[in-house]
Amino acid sequence: MELREKNGVKYLVFPRLEQIDFVNHLFSTRIGGVSKGCYSQMNLSYTRGDEKEAVDENYKRIADIMGHGRKLDDFVSTFQTHTTNVKVITEEDRGKGPARSRDYIDIDGLITNVPGIILSTFHADCPPVYFVDPVNKAIGLSHSGWKGTKGEISARTIEKMADNYGTKAEDLICAIGPSICGDCYEIGEDVASEFSENYTEAELRDNKILVKYPEGKYRLYLWNAIKLTLLKKGVKEENIIITDICTRCNPELLFSHRIHHEDRGNLAAFLSINGNS
Q: What is the DSSP string of 112-165?
A: E--TT-EEEEEESSSPEEEEEETTTTEEEEEE--HHHHHTTHHHHHHHHHHHHH
**Which domains occur in the chain, in start order?**
2-179+236-273 (3.60.140.10)
- Among 251, 247, 240, smallest CA distance to 269 is for 247
Per DSSP, helices labelled H in the chain are 15-18, 52-66, 146-150, 153-165, 189-198, 201-206, 222-233, 257-260
Pairing of strands 2-6, 9-13: antiparallel
- The backbone torsions φ and ψ at residue 197, rounded to the nearest 5 degrees and listed phi first, read -75, -25
What φ, ψ does residue 111 adopt, rounded to 5°?
A: -135, 150
SS3 of 4, please? strand
Distance CA 162, CA 131 (A): 12
Q: How far apart are the first and last CA of the chain?
A: 28
CB-CB contact of 161 with 196 (8 Å): no
Ordered per-residue pLDDT tens for the chain, 277 residues? 999 999 999 999 999 999 999 999 999 999 999 999 999 999 999 999 999 999 999 999 999 999 999 999 999 999 999 999 999 999 999 999 999 999 999 999 999 999 999 999 999 999 999 999 999 999 999 999 999 999 999 999 999 999 999 999 999 999 999 999 999 999 999 999 999 999 999 999 999 999 999 888 999 999 999 999 999 999 999 999 999 999 999 999 999 999 999 999 999 999 999 985 4
CA distance 157 to 142: 7
Q: Return the DSSP state at 263.
A: S
- CA-CA distance, 133 to 113, in Å (whole number)? 10
Identify the pLDDT of residue 276: 59
Nearest to 28 by CA among 74, 67, 61: 61
Q: Tell if the pTM clears 0.75, that is, is over it.
A: yes
What backbone phi and psi angles, to 5 degrees, belong to 79? -125, 80
Is 196 exposed, middle or buried, given 0-12, 13-18 or 19+ CB atoms closer than 10 A?
middle
- CA atoms of 191 and 39, how far apart (whole Å): 29
Residues 6+ apart with CB under 8 A from 143: 78, 80, 108, 109, 121, 122, 123, 126, 127, 128, 153
Question: Which residues pair with residue 268 across a beta bridge?
Answer: 122
